[in-house]
Amino acid sequence: MFLSFLLAGYLSALNLLAPRNAASIAGITVLPFLIAGLLGLISETPTFVRQPMNLIFRSAIVLGISVFVLYRCGASLWSRQKGWVGKIIVGGFVLLPALWATSALFSVAMWVFHRE
């Protein structure tokens, strides 16, 4: 669960700079979850997925949005800004989720490697 929040922080920041790259990365990272959900749904033996439909629906939504963005996306918001003021504002919006994801990553790392 933590990995999905971490990726969401970085992908939301990347979405403003390079939306096609963000859609590709989101699609690639969600495919294993979709495959795990489908295998959990059709397999007769118990798998590590308790409720495969949760993985299937969420993964299908993210994958559908990623495919839509790949086919319909134009120029990024960063490249459409003409002046420095607009780029600074977009940069601020890019930095906020990326800094949150980085601080969350470091806080978990400090918690894991905490030595008394």
Cα angle 94, 97, 102 (rounded to 5 degrees) comes to: 115
Note down the domain range covering 39. Answer: 2-112
Residues 6+ apart with CB under 8 A from 13: 93, 94, 95, 96, 97, 98, 101
Mean pLDDT in order along the chain per 10 residues (116 residues): 61 71 80 84 71 80 81 73 81 76 76 70
What is the number of domains present in the chain?
1
pLDDT in tens, 83-95: 888 878 877 877 7
